[in-house]
A = this chain, B = another copy of it.
Amino acid sequence: MNFELNKALLILERTPSVFRSLLQDLPPGWIHENEGEHTWSPFDVIGHLIHGEKTDWMVRTAIILGNDPGKTFEPFDRFAQFENSRGKGLEALLAEFDTLRQENLRRLRSLQLSGEDLQREGMHPELGPVTLSQLLAAWVVHDLGHIAQVSRVMAKQYKSEVGPWTQYLTILNFDPEE
């Protein structure tokens, strides 16, 4: 598929409700366990998505469309959620993510981006020049990647409970470092 803003928005706007369907009202075992050392729980992932709404996607969109000469993005803090989510409940995080995402998509739509806008470039601190269309496509893939991750983390909580089925249920054998 080629990137089209309308089709990207169809995914971005539903991600909060996907996470709500997947995680709402679950007990701690399903939401606070991870895949082992240096991996994230579903709770950590929602905090990470919140930080992205605040500091990544629309902030970088504004840099690309703005008039700063270098147009260089700030590096994204992949660990901010460990501090920011502390003491919060999952329901509060899901609601915060939903509100921030809605507001960001309202702003994105209001920009009425042209095909030319989508080809404008910014400078990623590590990846080099990237277009707005690549940034927005990455936002979509990032959402879907974390939905897959959360499902996998939850599945792994039953790794030792499925007996001989481990060999068929390949998600249990996926190493997050790969």
Interface on A for B, CB 8 Å cutoff?
A: 1-3, 7, 10-11, 14, 17-18, 20-22, 25-27, 29-30, 33, 124, 127-128, 130-131, 133-134, 137-138, 140-142, 144-145, 147-149, 151-152, 154-155, 157-158, 161-165, 167-172, 174, 178
Contacts and interface: CB of A to CB of B under 8 A. Distances in A.
Given A18-B22, A165-B127, A144 B154 contact: yes
Contacts of A128: 164
A132 to B, nearest CB: 11
B164 A124 contact: yes
- The DSSP consensus for interface residues of chain A is helix
Copies of this chain in the oligomer: 2
A27 B1 CA distance: 12
A144 B152 contact: yes
B124 A3 contact: no
6 closest cross-chain pairs (CB), A and B:
A134-B163, A137-B161, A145-B171, A144-B155, A148-B151, A127-B164
A14 to B, nearest CB: 6
